[in-house]
Amino acid sequence: MSALPEARTWPRLHDAQRRVLLEVLIHGAQSRVAIARRLGLSRTSLTRLVRELVELGFVEEGDVHLRPTRGRPPELLNVRPNAAHLLGVKLTGDALYAVVTDLTAQVVASEEHRLSSRSVDDVVGLIGDVAGSLLSGRELPAAVGVCLAGDVRRSGGEEFVDRSLFLGWDGVPLASLVSAATGLPAVTSNDVQALAAGHHWFGAGVQLTSMVVFGIGAGIGAGVVSGDELVSGAHGRPGKIGHARLPSSLGTGAPCHHGHDTCVHSFVTMPAIEFNAGVAAGSYGEAVSRARAGDEAAVRAFRLSAYALGVVVAQFVNVLDPQKVVVTGEGTDMLDLAPRDFEKALADQLEDNHVADGVVIDRQPFEFTHYARGAAVGALRSLLSE
Query: What's the pLDDT at 157?
Result: 86
d(CA 239, CA 232): 9
**In the chain, what are the domains?**
15-82 (1.10.10.10), 84-198+369-383 (3.30.420.40), 207-363 (3.30.420.40)
Q: In what helix (H) or strand (E) does residue 285 lie, and over which residues does it extend?
A: helix 284-292
Check if the beta carbon of residue 145 is closer than 8 Å to that of residue 87: yes
Q: In what helix (H) or strand (E) does residue 98 lie, and over which residues does it extend?
A: strand 95-101
Nearest residue to 302 (alpha-carbon basis) of 325, 278, 327: 278
d(CA 123, CA 1): 10
- Per-residue pLDDT tens, the chain, 386 aa: give them: 556 656 678 999 999 999 999 999 999 999 999 999 999 999 999 999 999 999 999 999 876 544 545 545 568 999 999 999 999 999 999 999 999 999 999 999 999 999 999 999 999 999 999 999 999 999 999 999 999 999 999 988 899 999 998 999 999 999 999 999 999 999 999 999 999 999 999 999 998 999 999 999 999 999 999 999 999 988 888 888 888 888 888 899 899 888 888 899 999 999 999 999 999 999 999 999 999 999 999 999 999 999 999 999 999 999 999 999 999 999 999 999 999 999 999 999 998 765 556 779 999 999 999 999 999 999 999 999 86
**Cα–chain-centroid distance for residue 355?**
27
Check if the beta carbon of residue 304 is closer than 8 Å to that of residue 250: yes
Query: What's the pLDDT at 65?
Result: 47
d(CA 89, CA 110): 10
Query: What's the pLDDT at 150?
Result: 92
How far is residue 214 from each of residues 171, 246, 281, 292, measured CA to CA in Å? Answer: 26, 17, 23, 24
Nearest residue to 322 (alpha-carbon basis) of 214, 199, 224: 224
Check if the beta carbon of residue 218 is closer than 8 Å to that of residue 269: yes
Query: What's the pLDDT at 2?
Result: 56
Q: What is the pTM of this model?
A: 0.91
Check if the beta carbon of residue 172 is closer than 8 Å to that of residue 163: no
